[in-house]
């Protein structure tokens, strides 16, 4: 049965969804960074930004090239000092120890492990980060505490048991089930895990005493972009800039007039705005702070709802064919 044609410029008659999924809240690890050879305690927000920088590979496209590294470090430290405040101990980027640094040559190490090395290999670094001293041949490095913490977390993730991976997989599937679908105009579409989805829909409709049935459509990107450092391409002038965490107060939600507004998943927060605009196909949007671009949450490209616009283009092409001379 063919769906009822919608009026011009109207994308849907009814739309309902669960909003957007936010990335996990940052959990402080409490590892201190080093500045001018001394430990410095950071606030959770400051620690998060320092951790983002420590996670950038020094041989990668951002820090592995002298030109890009200069831009990246400048933008990063500008945002970092703003977060620290003008009276903070940290004032110069050159005195910060965020990661692995090449050792100066010709310096003998005084640590116990050096005695086990041959004399010609005892040329190592003076550790700026005193908590770790890796004694090896020329070219050995010192590992800053935050970077070492990140590497340990990577190893823990790799060493996860099958049961732990199954739990993580189940949690991801649960988020997909909750946020990955929208109910739009009763349009029929086959979805993955149909039985669980049907049960979820029946629960939703029964609790609201609805007498009509919608069918779920799969969404595309339903997770808000996590915070981090903007990478960019080539020598992008904004690379290294802090991509701030998107909060509910930044997000506009679009639902049908008769739909229940999705509750904000973060306690103590609320959506910036809730609109009921059937002339657009997006479900939510926000603006990111680096480039000022608008980010939309749309239905998946495989969705038949999304394919309506493609069908209209094909029909228009067929009509034009009759009027174009061969």
pLDDT tens-digit map of 114-148:
444 444 443 333 333 333 333 333 333 334 788 88
Tokens for 299, please give them.
């239905």
Least confident residue range of 48-62, 203-217, 227-241: 203-217
pLDDT for 326 = 56
Name the DSSP letter for residue 249: G
Number of domains in the chain: 2
The whole-angstrom separation of Cα 133 and Cα 114 is: 10
Q: What is the pLDDT of residues 48-58, one digit of tens each?
A: 999 999 999 98
Q: What is the pLDDT of residues 267-312, one digit of tens each?
A: 999 999 999 999 998 999 999 999 999 999 988 776 666 666 677 7
Q: Are residues 293 and 261 in the same domain?
A: yes
Tokens for 316, please give them.
């228009």
Residue 90, domain member (yes or no):
yes
Instruction: List the domain range (segments joined by +) for residue 77.
Output: 33-158
CA 109 to chain centre: 41
In this structure, the number of other CB atoms found within 10 A of the CB of residue 150 comes to 17
Last residue of a domain, one of 158, 193, 227: 158
Q: Mean per-residue pLDDT for 219-224?
A: 76
Q: Are residues 110 and 194 in the same domain?
A: no
Residue 301 phi/psi, 5° resolution?
Answer: -65, -25
pTM beyond 0.85, yes or no = no
Q: What is the mean pLDDT of the chain?
A: 78
Tokens for 152, please give them.
């340990």
20 has a pLDDT exceeding 60: yes
Task: List Cβ neighbours of 260 (8 Å cut-off, separation of 6 or more).
Answer: 16, 208
Question: Among candidates 242, 218, 239, which has minimal Cα distance to 306?
Answer: 218
């Amino acid at each position: 049965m063919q769906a009822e044609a919608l009026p011009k410029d109207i994308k849907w008659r009814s739309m309902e969804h669960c909003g957007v999924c936010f990335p996990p809240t940052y959990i402080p690890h409490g590892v201190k960074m080093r500045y001018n050879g001394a430990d410095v305690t950071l606030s959770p927000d400051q620690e998060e930004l320092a951790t983002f920088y420590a996670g950038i590979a020094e041989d990668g496209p951002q820090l592995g090239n002298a030109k890009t590294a200069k831009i990246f470090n400048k933008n990063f430290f500008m945002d970092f000092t703003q977060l620290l405040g003008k009276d903070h101990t940290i004032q110069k980027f050159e005195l910060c120890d965020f990661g692995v640094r090449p050792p100066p040559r010709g310096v003998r190490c005084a640590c116990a492990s050096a005695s086990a090395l041959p004399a010609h290999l005892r040329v190592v670094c003076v550790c700026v980060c005193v908590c770790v001293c890796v004694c090896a041949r020329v070219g050995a490095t010192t590992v800053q505490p935050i970077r070492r913490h990140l590497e340990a977390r990577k190893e823990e993730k790799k060493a996860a048991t099958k049961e732990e991976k199954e739990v993580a997989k189940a949690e991801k599937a649960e988020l997909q089930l909750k946020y990955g679908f929208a109910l739009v105009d009763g349009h029929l579409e086959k979805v993955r895990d149909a039985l669980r989805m049907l049960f979820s829909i029946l629960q939703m409709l029964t609790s609201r005493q609805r007498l009509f049935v919608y069918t779920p459509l799969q969404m595309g990107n339903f997770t808000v972009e996590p915070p981090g450092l903007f990478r960019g391409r080539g020598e992008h002038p904004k690379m290294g800039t802090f991509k701030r965490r998107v909060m509910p107060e930044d997000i506009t939600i679009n639902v049908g007039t008769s739909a229940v507004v999705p509750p904000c998943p973060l306690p103590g927060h609320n959506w910036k705005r809730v609109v009921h605009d059937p002339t657009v196909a997006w479900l939510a949007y926000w603006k990111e702070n680096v480039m000022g671009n608008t980010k939309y949450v749309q239905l998946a490209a495989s969705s038949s709802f999304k394919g309506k616009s493609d069908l209209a283009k094909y029909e228009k092409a067929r009509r034009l064919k009759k009027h174009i001379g061969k």
